[in-house]
Amino acid sequence: MFEELEKINSRPRPFEFYTASDLWTDEHTSKQMLSFHLNDAIDASSRNSAFIDRSVEWIVSRFNVSAGTKIADFGCGPGLYAARLAKTQADVTGIDFSKRSIQYAKEEAARQGLSIRYINQNYLEFETDERFDLVLMIMCDFCALSPVQRKEMLSRFRIFLKTGGCVLLDVYSLKAFGEREETATYEAGLLNGFWSPNKYYGFRNTFRYEREKVVLDKYTIVEADRTRTVYNWFQYFSIEELEREFAECGFVIEALYSDVAGKPFDLCSKEFAIVASKA
């Protein structure tokens, strides 16, 4: 038992493990994630609909979205942005890891009579000959990727963009990093049954990595017949560090905002959004 507790409370190296599939493709947790996406009362997997409405209105204005504008939404979830953008007659492609979310998005598009191309795939592996006017990665998805994965993602974005096209994404700031603390908690049925329909015991360890400006929420879920560990990584950025990463992949940052609804940039914001184009 002592050795198991030592393992549960061990601190891995930054981004040592990648377990996105356990969160997004597991039958039970993917159902829970979809319910969070669609719950307008919380800003969990997605932001609330009022914010998304403002965000899409700003995106349409900022990037002159109109009929034929080609948009790729990486991590599209159940299509909350994609569907709204498609109503402008834009040509929208949505890519997401979750089969359940993509199925919901397809059904909703059919119900609304919208023509949207949805792809159920890990966006780190997405390939296409299409070229886009606008690439989106919203809800700080970029922060869940390791430095190697981020470099690969930006390299793909650069290929996917048309000349003159832009990337819009948001990230967590150092202000937000400063508010994270290391914790260790234990609870039967941790997160109200989120992790399994069966009885389980859950451990959550939050680790801060000061030098790398990374936080890990490590979940160990113990059931009668299995024990699994899920690693949720969060990279926090300074403006200078984000500019460096983009520059190394052939991008220049054109503008900064406090969110993806175009709120003016504020150094005290816990998140910030960037617009980048090919250098």
Is 189 contained in some domain?
no
Domain that holds residue 123: 27-172+237-278
Give, as one character, the DSSP assignment of residue 224. S
The pTM assigned to this predicted structure is 0.94
Domain total for the chain? 1
Is residue 139 in some structural domain? yes
Query: Residue 96's domain is classified under what CATH number?
Result: 3.40.50.150
- Closest to 260 measured CA to CA, from 44, 133, 81: 81
pLDDT > 70? residue 42: no
3-state class of 73 per DSSP?
strand
How far separated are the first and last CA of the chain, in Å rounded? Answer: 55
Within-domain flag for 2 = no
Q: Is the pLDDT score of 41 beyond 80?
A: no
Is residue 113, in this structure, part of any structural domain at all? yes
- By the 8 A CB rule, do 169 and 277 touch? no
Q: What does R_g of the chain's alpha carbons equal in angstroms?
A: 19
- Specify the pLDDT at position 45: 56
Residue 7 located in a structural domain:
no
Q: Which of 7-16, 46-55, 194-203, 230-239 has the lowest mean pLDDT?
A: 46-55
